[in-house]
Each structure stands twice: as C-alpha cells, then as structure tokens.
Amino acid sequence: MYQPRQNPTRLDAKAILSDPLRNKGTAFTDEERDRLGLHGLLPSHVSTMDGQIERRIAVLRAFSTPFEKYAFLRDLQDTNETLFYALLARHRSELLPLVYTPTVGEACVRFSEIYRRARGLFLSYPLKGRLKQILADLPFDEVQVICATDGERILGLGDQGAGGMGIPIGKLSLYTDCAGIDPARTMPILLDTGTDNEALLGNPLYVGWRHRRVRGSEYDDFIEEFVEAVRERWPHAMLQWEDFAGPNAVSLLDRYRHRLPSFNDDIQGTAATALAAILAAERLAGIDLAERNILLFGAGAAGCGIAGLILGELERRGLSREGALDRLYAVDRDGLLIENVNVTTLNQALFARPQSEADDWLASGQAPSLIEAIQRAQPAVLIGTSGQFAAFDRPVVEAMAKHNDRPIILPLSNPAIRAEASAADVQAWSDGRAIIGTGSPSQGRDGTVTQVNNVYIFPGIGLGALVSGAQTITDAMFAEAAECLASLSLHDDGGALFPPTDRLAEVADTIALAVCHVAERDLGALAPLDGWEKAIARHRWAPAYRDLLPG
C-alpha cells in the first residue's frame, strides 16, 4: 500500500495557506514560493494586493443580494484576512453595510446555513467547569479585545442562539478596520447557554447547543466562570458585552465593569452615539437642549442608557438633577412611564414621571400613549429604541413637526425591519424640516441620511482603553466620546450629523485620544513621553502583507 512521505516543508506550506493571517494567495512572490515550498499549490500568476482587490471587488459586485455578498466576504476573511481588511479599507462605505448592519442581521438568522470554518470560541454550557482549562490550552496568547454574546437579543431580531456569533465577528472586524486592532489580537466568543427559539431547536442544520436557555443561578455561575477564565488567561484584555437581553445586559455590566476593563455596547455605546447625534442636531436646529424636552420611545437597557447619558449632559450644563429629569420623558409598551404605575425595572424608575404628576397624566385612566405624550410634552427630540416597526407613523411625525421648526427624530432600532420609521417617510411627513438619524443605512428624498451607528463610538473607546491601559472603562469616557463625535460633524455636507464612513479611522483616533486623556485625568494613566497621539499611532495594525521568509 502506498504510504505518502511526510515532507516538513510541504506540511508547513499547507499550514501557511490554511492560516488566514499568513495566507497571501496569489500574492506570494516567486522567492516565497521557492523557499516556503508553495510551488504547485498556487496558480503561476503572481499578483499584487491591488490586483487582488480589483478582482475581489468585481466578484463581490456580481452577486445579486447583500446576503450573498456577506457570505463571500466571510469566506474571504476566513481564507485571507489581510486581503479582507485591505478590501474593506479601500471600499469601506460600500462594504460596511455588508460586514455589519443591516446585513449581519440576516447573517445571524442564517448562521448555521453558511457555517464553514472555525472562528472564535463557542463556549457552551455543557463545558461548565472546564472553561479555564479550555482557554489555557488554546494557542491564542496575545488577545487584547474580546467581544462576547449569548445570542439572546440580536439586534431587533431576538433570540438567535449560536447564530448570534455573527455579531462579535462583525464587531471585531470593525475594531480592526476602524481602530487598527491587529486581528490576531481579537477574539469573538459565543456563550452558548441554549436558545428558546423554537425554529432553531427544530432546525436540523442548527450548530448550537440544542437546549432551552439556562437561567437563574446556573446562568450566573457560568458567566462568572467565564469571566474568571478570561481574567486568568488574558489579564490585560478588554471585554465588550454584546446583545444580551435587557436584564442580563444591565446586571452583567454592573457586576463586572470594575473587575475587568469592560463595557456593554448596547447600553453605553448606543448612548454615546445617540448623544453625539443629539448634540450635532441641536446645533443644526439652533436650540438649547437644557430648555427643551426629550422623549425616548423604548425604555429597555438601550433607551435607559441613552437617558442616563443625556441626564449627565444636562447636569453638566447647570441643571439640577431634578431639573434635568424633568426634561426627560420615557414611553414603553404600557405608555408613558409613571412612578408606581407601570415601571418594571430600577433603570426605568429613574426616568418615570413622578407620582405627583400621576393624576394629571392618568386623567383618561391609563398612561398616555406615544402620540399623547408628544402632544402634551411637546419634545424637541424623539428617540426610538423600541424595535417596533413603523411606530413613528404620520401622526407622530406631524405632532413633532407641529411644535418644532426643526424636529429631531432618531428612529435608531435596527435592522430596517425593526425601525420605528424610514427616513423618507419622516422627511415627507415633516415637510422636509426634520433632522433625522437612523440606526440602519437609510435613504431620504435627497440622499443618504446619517446612520447613527455605534461603529462611530466603540472602536475608539476600545483603542483608547488599550493604549491608556485603563482598568475601568468609565461613563466619562463615553460622554467625552460623544462630545468628540459631535464636534466632527460636517454640517456643510448636506447637514450630516456625523462624518462619512470613509473617515471612521480618523474618528476612532480622535475618540481614542479623548479616552486616553480621561484615563489620565480620572484613573492616573501615565502618558508616554512622546504623547498619546504617537502611542495611538504605534498601536495601529495595517492590512499589508508581511515577510514570511525565514532568516
């Protein structure tokens, strides 16, 4: 029987081509092919990276649907990561909606369908008691940024189980593209504690743990074990909590934010992005937020996070805590939040209208609806984080426009099938007067509307935290990030609230610098002798092929 000879050079050559961080595809030079034993494993053509980018973008544009394009890009990322990021940097505005929102929503729903190669860690509940050993055995020594989810609240799509892994993969891709974090130092993690999605449990293609969600103390103990395993394996890594259900999102943030550098992007990142949009819109509208009311529709973790950051902004402007709270109105599924009437969480309690107002608000016997609250409070700003499609209908928008020359309307829920309104409808119903920001990419009557997406905030937060060595990621960092982003607004560019996405690397650097200064001021971080700017620049990874030749 024929026994193939084991040629060490050949084995190493196949390992190089199978490693997305070392593979160059057709860009390996003749010398590299000679010395690494690659001849015969590649076509004879030697390409440049520019040539590879031209070929890949042409192929991508030939696909007919965003999901097909997403699958193509994921395959490229898993085979040649350097080329993937070079392509993304070259065509960021075109590819960002494919790599992340809105296409990533469908990608999570169909994750099991397109799963091909291992990326990141799937830590399922049956592995409980073994997490430290599993992490210790993995060949990942330089991890700096971790993004973890349990897949229970994916965007506005709900429980996607193991399919939620698409979110950490996408988020970390943006850390690399925007903030220059070396992809070898990123780690997406799916904490698979089961799913209550009946369609997934009955789907023979589903790749996750086929079990209903673990909850209560069993869930808490599993997360505790995970955090301790991370602290032991990667003691200097930053952890981003992503797309956990509201109660877990809040409790995990409170429990762990001071035990390891961590934050919840759905709460804090969303809040900073929304505040930045409001600050930019405030200047466009020519108003003073301290003198106007603000209404939030959707009082879950994200909505309350936004309210909290706005509250801090109003207090910084000189309002008392009581005066600042008086400017905020929150409407949830049971109407306007009123103390001792329809409040279900501690976070909601802070922003509920006081009991002293109850009789006035409850004149009809029930809490006011969204439209009723707008008609009575006459807010200048309306923010949507409800996930309720088309909640900002024509009467709602017209009510906002009736009381404001330039109403600020931010339907932030995504994907688009969960958005409170489309930009085109808001423009039409407000006679073109509304200042609009949307959670997913959106087209208005006159072109693209500002996407108020967390990608403008979290890469800079992470980069600044890493460069400064901050052991705690503070609320002050997010407040400063919001101020920075608002200051970068290009109001001479069609009234855009944020810079265009092709400037996201610049945005990340600016926010990272602000975070470093906060860490220095509040946490005692020591600035390098040559300054924070140089330190940020040194930390950046660029998508360029490395020399793999020995010697």
Task: For the beta carbon of residue 232, count every other beta carbon within 10 angstroms.
Answer: 12
The pair of three-digit structure tokens given for residue 137, joined into one six-digit string: 């055995």
Query: What residue type is 165 in one-letter code?
Result: M
Beta-ladder partners of 444? 447
Q: In what order do the strands lie in the sheet with 435-438?
A: 335-336, 328-332, 294-297, 381-384, 408-411, 435-438, 447-451, 442-444
- H or E segment at 358? helix 358-361
| Spatial distance between the Cα atoms of 367 and 339, rounded to a whole number of angstroms | 11
Token couple for 134: 């599993």
Q: Are 499 and 453 in contact (CB under 8 A)?
A: no
Strand partners, 338: 353
Judge whether 121 and 192 are in contact, CB under 8 Å. Answer: no
Q: Are 520 and 468 in contact (CB under 8 A)?
A: yes
- For residues 95 and 102, what is the distance between their CA atoms, to the nearest angstrom? 11
Helix axes 458-468, 166-179, angle to 10 degrees: 70
Spatial CA neighbour of 384 closest among 439, 305, 308, 344: 439
Q: What are the backbone angles phi and psi of residue 234, rounded to the nearest 5°?
A: -130, 75
Residue numbers annotated as active site: 100, 171
User: Residue 76 corresponds to which amino acid?
Assistant: L
φ/ψ of residue 182, rounded to 5 = -55, 125
Nearest Cα neighbor of 160 from 187, 189, 190, 188 is: 190
Q: Which amino acid is at 293?
A: N
CA dist., res. 11 & res. 546, Å (int):
20
Helix spans in 26-128 (H):
30-36, 49-62, 66-79, 81-90, 92-99, 103-109, 111-114
CB 302 within 8 A of CB 385: yes
**């649907």: which residue's tokens?**
65
Name, in order, each residue with C-beta under 8 angstroms of 211's C-beta and a sequence gap of 6 or more: 125, 194, 195
161: left (phi over 0), alpha (psi -120 to 50) or beta: left
Could you give the C-alpha distances from 330 to 280, 387, 403, 500, in angstroms and in order? 22, 15, 18, 31
